[in-house]
Structure 1
Amino acid sequence: MTADLTALDLEEAGAVLAAESARFASFGWMRGTSGNLSVVLTRDPLRLAVTASGHDKGELTPADVVLVDGNGAAVHEGKPSAEAELHARVAALTGAGAVVHVHTVASVALGHRHPGGIVFKDIEMLKGVGQPAHDVEVTLPVIANSQDMKILGDRLEAAREPRMPAVVVAGHGLYVWGDTPRQARHHTEVVEWLLELELTRR
């Protein structure tokens, strides 16, 4: 641990992430060991608790998290998700307090169909991401996938739409964020609902 963080802080964060992971896994959005979640513990320096790599997200315990720094590298011990670096980049870029990454069918399918972004308009559920329900078009960005988190982070930063707290990674899944784990969860559920609606329309 660092001077500002204790094992109890990490365990408490782990309990929150385990509960959120179980919820998303129950929806089929984190099948097998796919997907990952994080929560910011400190801002200066940036430290996040990130779900550990290779664990079934429906069976996480409070111990199944790793403390990482602003580059996504483990601070103490454990193996964080391979995408921890991108979680840290999103937290630094957006000021988010929590980041969700899920692998949903709708996000992957629509990412292929709309490489330039997915446009939503005149849908009441847009209020769930803080946007007017009518007379405003909001684009959910879509970026090309990469196994290099620096490249992926650069693409996310270039494509980010400040009015939409999410981005689709084509062929991969959905990244969503919020001020807190609860808000990140709500944003994830709303964005996924919008994606599922768009998928049924086609």
Structure 2
Amino acid sequence: MSIELKQAGAALACEAARMAGLGWMRGTSGNLSVTLRQDPLRLAVTASGLDKGELTAADVVVVDATGKAVPDQPNPAQRPSAEAGLHARIASVAGAGAVVHVHMLSAVVAAQRWPGGVVLRDLEMLKGLGRRDDDVMTVPVVPNSQDMGVLGDAFEAGFDAATPVVIVARHGVYVWGRDLVQARHRTECLDWLFQFTLATNGFQEVVA
């Protein structure tokens, strides 16, 4: 295993353990990736079928622009999730350095409540997404599919460079950033924003 891949694997394992501890990667669900290079596109993705709270630096698979494992893997027995295809599409279209896919309940419930898009507005936490606190951000919601090409097309059709997130209905959320730390920070901020928006839905604003 190259030093670059070992470092990527260690970072992915660390972030996966953190997110599993938050209840966002229950069982063996969810997957994280970092972009190793853009041309040709190569991603390091957490290996499929493993407890995301117990990953090691070796539990990583290198995939290409289609999400398929490239030859000469350090551990050929490991395989990427089929969802690696959407990671690759996001990295290609958004130029992301890292993509987080978790099954964050607040995002899935918000998408169930607002299937046309989850509107987040006038909240200080929007600054964590690179937006102003008086801004309005609509998080796109796309229908779930087992076909990553279909999901990728839906993501790309609604892509907005200023909105680094897409919710897959009744499934989970994808969040991206320039690196894993920024992607994690954005995911944490979004969880708060979704929880607040759900909790205050139906409240009437009191104007002094």
TM-score, structure 1 as length reference: 0.94
| Structure 1 alignment gaps of length 5 or more | 1-5
Give the CA deviation at 1:200: 1.3
Give the CA deviation at 1:197: 1.0
Partner of residue 109, structure 1? 109
- 1:46 and 1:163 mapped to 2: Cα distance? 22
Partner of residue 96, structure 1? 96
Q: Percent identity?
A: 58
For residue 101 of structure 2, give the secondary structure of its aligned residue in structure 1. Answer: strand
Render the CA deviation track for 1:94-152: whole Å, top value 9, x for unaligned.
00000000001111111111111011111000000010101x21101111110000000
- 2:126 and 2:148 mapped to 1: Cα distance? 29
Partner of residue 83, structure 1? 83
Equivalent residue for 1:60, pick from 50, 55, 58:
55
Q: Give the 5 Å matches for 1:34-53.
A: 34-53=29-48
The amino acid of 2:176's aligned partner reads: W
- 1:32 and 1:7 mapped to 2: Cα distance? 29
- 2:57 and 2:198 mapped to 1: Cα distance? 35
RMSD: 1.0
- 2:98 and 2:65 mapped to 1: Cα distance? 14
Partner of residue 161, structure 2? 162
Give the CA deviation at 1:157: 0.7
Give the CA deviation at 1:161: 2.6
Partner of residue 151, structure 2? 152
TM-score, structure 2 as length reference: 0.92
Give the CA deviation at 1:7: 2.4
- 2:182 and 2:34 mapped to 1: Cα distance? 11
The amino acid of 2:110's aligned partner reads: L
For residue 174 of structure 2, give the secondary structure of its aligned residue in structure 1. Answer: strand
Render the CA deviation track for 1:144-196: whole Å, top value 9, x for unaligned.
11000000000011122322110111000110000011111111111111111
Please identify runs of 4+ aligned residues in structure 1 that moved more than 6 A.
Answer: none
The amino acid of 1:129's aligned partner reads: L
Q: Work out which of the two has the higher radius of gyration on C-alpha atoms and give 1 or 2.
A: 2
Q: 2:8 matched to 1:13?
A: yes
Give the CA deviation at 1:11: 1.3
- 1:159 and 1:43 mapped to 2: Cα distance? 22
Q: 2:66 matched to 1:71?
A: yes
For residue 110 of structure 1, give the secondary structure of its aligned residue in structure 2. Answer: helix
